[in-house]
Chain A
Amino acid sequence: MDHGENPVSIELQEYAEPVPQLLKLISSNEVAGFDSIMEGETPVFPNPTNSSQPNGHQRKISISISMPSSPTGATSADTKNVLFVQDNAKGFKNGVPESCVGSKAKPKGVKFLSQPMPKGSVFGEGANMNQNPNVKKFKDKRFDSFKTWSGKLERQLTNLRGRQQESESEDDSVRPSENEALPVDRYFDALEGPELETLRASEEIVLPDDKTWPFLLRYPISSFGICLGVSSQAIMWKTLATATSTNFLHISLTVNLILWWISVALVAIVASIYLTKVVLYFEAVRREYYHPIRVNFFFAPWISLLFLAIGVPPSVASSLPVALWYVLMTPFLCLELKIYGQWMSGGQRRLSKVANPSNHLSVVGNFVGALLGASMGLKEGPIFFFAVGLAHYTVLFVTLYQRLPTNETLPKELHPVFFLFVAAPSVASMAWANIQGSFDYGSRIAYFIALFLYFSLAVRINFFRGFKFSLAWWAYTFPMTGAAIATMRYSSAVTNVVTQTLSVILSVVATLTVTALLVTTILHAFVQRDLFPNDIAIAISDRKPKSHRRWFNLIRHGSSEHNADIDTFLKFANGDTKDIEAGLKISSAEAK
C-alpha cells in the first residue's frame, strides 16, 4: 500500500477516511443500546476503591473502569457507585441513559458524557491501586497511544463537562511513533501462528503484557465471527423448515425465529461494542485494519447483516425493501474496492505476500450479496457482485492452492480457518441458482466443488488439534452451515434418499459444531475467564527490537539461531578479505 511506503507522520484523520463509512452505517443500523455481553468481564468493574484514591490528582487516577459503553445503566449497580470516585462529583448523568436507548442519530460524544473516561484502566488488581500514584499514572498512560488521537478525544469530552485539564507533556514520548501505519512486514516479522496472533520470542510489544488491558483493547474484530456463525444457523433452520426436500422432518419455523432474534441481538451488541472501540481506541482499530488477517474480518459485520436479511423469518417480514440491499452493499463495495485494489497495485500488501485463507471472507461477501439481491428479485446488481466475486475468487483460490513459498501466513498444519475454503463455492452455487432461477449446471458445479472441499477437510479431522481457541473460530462454522444449506437446495432440485440424508447429516454436523463451540465459548468466558486475552497482535512495536536485546534473547533462549550468530561473529572477527563480505552481510542483517 502506498501508505506504508511513505512513512511520514500522518494525521489520524487521513486514516479516518475509510472508517467514517463504517461509523455512519453502523450507527444507523444498530440499536444504540449497549450491553455487556460478556458477563465474565465483570471483574473488569473494580471493587469500589475509595480507599486508594489519591486526592488532588487529575481524574486519570480514577480507577473506576466500567465499560464506558453502558449508559443504559443495565449493568449492575456497583458500576455506578464506582463512577463517583472523582475529584468533582459531576458523575453519572442520569438523564443520559434514557436518551441513549433507541435513538439512532445521537452523536457519539453524548454516550460517554455519563462516565468518566477510563484513562489507563487498571483492572481488578487491587494491589496496583496501592502503589505510588506516579507509577500508576505512567502505566495508565501507556494505553494512551492506543486511544483515539492519543487520548485527546477523552480529554475533549471531559472538557465538555468542565473538568480540569492537566498538561499532557509526558505523553509526547509515547505518542509519535504510534501514529504511523505499520508496514505489513512488521506483522509478519513479529507474529506467527495460523491467525498471526502469537508474538515471536524475539519481539516485544508496546503495551504492558503482565496486566490485563482495557476490555476494549482486548476486543478483536474477529468477534464478529459469532454473528456470522449464529446468523448462518438461523438461515439453516429457516431452510430446513421451508425446503421441500426436508419437509419430512417437520421442523417448525419457530427455531428460525428464535435464532434470528438471537442473531439480531448479537449483531447489535457486538457492533456497538466495536463501535465504542472505534470511537475510543481508534489507533487499535487502525492496527487491526493493517493486520493482514484481521483486515478480512472487517467484512464480517456486513456479511452478518446480509445473513440477517437472508434469514429473516417470514413472520417478521415476508419481503424486504430493495433499497435495503443497496444500503447494505454500498459500504461493502467501498471496502472491497480498497482491499482488492491493494492486491492489484502490487505494493507491500500484494496478494502473493498476504494471501491466507481468511481472505475468503473478503470474497464470499460478494456471493452473499448476490444471493440476497437475487432473492429480492434484483437482476443486474447481483450479477455485478457475482462477477466481481467470481473473478477474485478464482485468483484467490489459485493463489492459496499454490501455497507459494513467498507466502508466510499459511499455517503449515491444518487449522479451522481452512474451512473457509468451503464457504465461497457453496454460497456461489446458491447465488447462481437464485440468479438463474433454478439449480442448473453452473450451480451444481460450484456445489460439487464445495462438497469435495468439505469432505477433504472432514476426513482430516484428526489434524485439527492442538490449537488455541479463539473467537474467530465462530467465523469458521458458517461454511459448514453454508454447505448444509446448499445441500438442501440441491436436494430440492434432485430429490432422492441420498441427497436428503446428506442434507440431514450436514445440518446435524453444523448444529453440533455450533453447540460445541457455544459450550467452549461459555467455558472460556466464565470458567477460564480468558475469552478476551490481551490482544498481542495489535500491540507490536513498529521496529525490531535492538540487537543487544536480541543478543540477550538468544542467550536466554539458546536457540539454533544462536549458533549461527556465533559463527558469523567469529567470521567477522577474523578480518579476512573474504570475510569483509560476511561482515557486510552481518551489518545489513543487523540493520534490517
Chain B
Amino acid sequence: MIRSMASQRSQPEVNTPQSSRFTDRIKRSLSSILTKFHAGYFRISLSLGGQALLWKTLIGPTHDKSTLRHLVHKFHPTAFLVLWSFALFILILLSLLYILRCLFYFKMVKAEFLHHVGVNYLFAPWISWLLLLQSAPFATPKTTSYYVLWWFFAVPVVALDVKIYGQWFTKGKKFLSTVANPTSQISVIGNLVGALAAASMGWKESAVCLFSLGMVHYLVLLVTLYQRFSGSDRIPAMLRPVFFLFFAAPSVASLAWESITGAFDIASKMLFFLSLFLFISLVCRPALFRRSMRRFNVAWWAYSFPLTILALASTEYAEEVKGSIAHLLMLLLLALSVLVSLGLTIFTLLNTRMLLPDNDPISTLHHLPTVSP
C-alpha cells in the first residue's frame, strides 16, 4: 500500500554514519505523519481562528453597555495577541504539512478530493486563513495587503465551489443525494466566512455574492440532510461530532448578514434562533455522540468551531437586544466555547501521540470505500 511504499523510500542503508541514520529517522517519522495527515486536521486551526475572532470582537468597540460586556472587555490585549499568534503558528504548521503532503503524496490528496467527506475539508484551510485575517490584531480592513490576502484566500473557495456545487447537480456519481453528509456544510461556511470578511472590507457586492451562493446551497443542503435518504451511514460513527456543523452554518450566516446590512436585523435574528434551536436539539441527544467519544481523535475538534461561532453570534444578538436573558445566554455560550476549546487544546497537547492514529476515519477511508470503525 502507499504507506509501505513510503517506508521503502526511506529505507536506511546499513553502513551509514550516525547523522544520516538520524535524518532517515526524521524522514520516516515525517512521512508517517504526512501519510496520516489530512485536511480534517485543519479543524484545529478553524477552532483557534474562531476563538481569535470571538475574542477580537469581544475586546473591540461595542455599543453594549452591560456589565458583562465590560468585564469581558477587560481581557488584556496582550493575551489576545498571544492567542492570535498561537493560532497563526498552528495554522502555518498545518499549512506547511499539507503543502508537503501535496508535494510528496499527491495521490493521497487526490483521493481525499474524491472522497465525499474529505473533499469538504479542503475548504477548511482557506476558512481558517480568512478567519485569522479578519481577527488579525494589526491588519486594518481597508488596506491593500488586506485586499490582496482576501483575494488570495477567497479565490480557491470560489473555485472549489464551482467544482463541487456543479458536481452536485451534473455529475452522475456525485449527485447531492448520494454525497450529502453533514460535512458538506463546510462548503457553505466557506462562502459565508468569505462574505463576512468581504463585508468587513467594505466590499458589499462581493459579500452579497458570496452570501447568496452560500445561502442557496445551504437551503438545498438543509433539506437534503434533513431528509436523510440513506440514513446516518454516510459518515462513520467516529465522525459524529461533525453534526455540530448543523448549527454552525446558520450562525455564520447570521454574522455575515449582520456585516452586510450593518445591524443585527430580523433576518440575522432568525438565523441565530435557528442555529440556537439546532444546538439545543443536538445537545439533548447525547446518545448520538456516544460512540465517537470513546477514543480521542481529531474529530473531537469539530465540537469547538460551531460553539465558538454560536457564542459570537450570541454576543452580537445580546448587543442588539440588550436584555438580561440575552446576556445570560451570551455568557453561557461564551463559557461553553472557551471551556471546550481550552479543554481540547490541553487534551491534544497531552495526547499528541493519539492525534495521528492508524484508523482515522478520513485517511483510512481512502483505502476502503466504506468503513465503520
Chain A interface (Cβ within 8 Å of chain B)? 2, 337-338, 340-341, 343-348, 350-352, 355, 380, 383-384, 386-388, 390-392, 394-395, 398-399, 404, 406, 435
Contacts and interface: CB of A to CB of B under 8 A. Distances in A.
Contact of B284 (A341, A343, A399): A341
Contacts of B228: 343-344, 346, 350-352
Given A345-B232, A347-B232, A351-B227, A394 B219 contact: yes
B273 A395 contact: no
A463 B222 CA distance: 33
Contacts of A390: 270
Contacts of B266: 383, 435
B285 to A, nearest CB: 5
Contacts of B219: 394
A343 B232 CA distance: 11
**Majority-rule SS of B interface residues:** helix
B227 A399 contact: yes
B269 A380 contact: yes
B160 interface: no
A387 B254 CA distance: 12
Closest 5 CB pairs of A and B: A387-B270, A346-B232, A346-B228, A350-B228, A352-B227
Nearest to A388: B277
A306 B145 CA distance: 56
B359 to A, nearest CB: 23
A352 B229 contact: yes
Interface of B: 219, 222-223, 225-229, 231-232, 243, 246, 266, 269-271, 273-274, 276-278, 280-282, 284-285, 287-288, 321, 323, 326
B229 A406 contact: yes
B284 A337 contact: yes
Nearest to A406: B229
Contacts of B284: 337-338, 341
Contacts of B285: 341, 345
A407 B226 CA distance: 14
Contacts of A404: 227, 229
A63 to B, nearest CB: 46
B336 to A, nearest CB: 18
A322 to B, nearest CB: 13
A391 B321 CA distance: 22
A340 B225 CA distance: 12
A394 B223 contact: yes
A394 B84 CA distance: 39
28 contacts: A337-B284, A341-B281, A341-B284, A343-B226, A344-B228, A344-B243, A344-B246, A344-B278, A345-B243, A345-B285, A346-B228, A351-B227, A352-B228, A355-B227, A383-B273, A384-B273, A384-B277, A387-B269, A387-B274, A388-B277, A390-B270, A391-B222, A394-B219, A394-B223, A395-B223, A404-B229, A406-B229, A435-B266
A340 B227 contact: no
Contacts of A384: 273, 276-277
Given A346-B232, A352-B228, A383 B281 contact: no
Given A337-B280, A341-B284, A395 B274 contact: no
Contacts of B231: 346-348, 350
A387 B274 CA distance: 6
Given A383-B270, A394-B219, A351 B226 contact: yes
A388 B278 CA distance: 9
Contacts of B229: 352, 404, 406
Contacts of A338: 284
- A2, A338, A384, A392, most chain B CB atoms within 10 A: A384
A387 B271 CA distance: 7
A13 B227 CA distance: 31
B9 to A, nearest CB: 42
A512 B276 CA distance: 43
Contacts of A352: 227-229
Contact of A395 (B222, B281, B326): B222
A446 to B, nearest CB: 14
A337 B231 CA distance: 19
Contacts of A386: 270
Given A344-B246, A350-B231, 12 more contacts: A343-B226, A345-B232, A345-B288, A346-B231, A347-B231, A351-B228, A380-B269, A387-B270, A392-B226, A394-B219, A399-B223, A404-B229
A350 B284 CA distance: 17
A77 B323 CA distance: 59
A343 B288 CA distance: 13
Contacts of B288: 2, 345
Contacts of B276: 384
A344 B270 contact: no
B228 to A, nearest CB: 4
Contacts of A388: 273-274, 277
Nearest to B235: A346
A348 B223 CA distance: 17
B281 A387 contact: no
A399 B266 CA distance: 27
Contacts of B280: 337
A394 B231 CA distance: 20
B227 A350 contact: yes
Nearest to B232: A346
Nearest to A397: B223
B227 A380 contact: no
A490 B370 CA distance: 54
Contacts of B323: 380
Most buried by B among A344, A345, A398: A344
Nearest to B287: A2
B227 A387 contact: no
Contacts of A350: 227-228, 231
A197 B45 CA distance: 54
Nearest to A2: B287
A417 B232 CA distance: 30
A345 B235 CA distance: 12
B88 to A, nearest CB: 35
A351 B276 CA distance: 21
Given A386-B270, A388-B273, A398 B223 contact: yes
A328 B134 CA distance: 43
Contacts of A340: 281
Contacts of A391: 222, 274
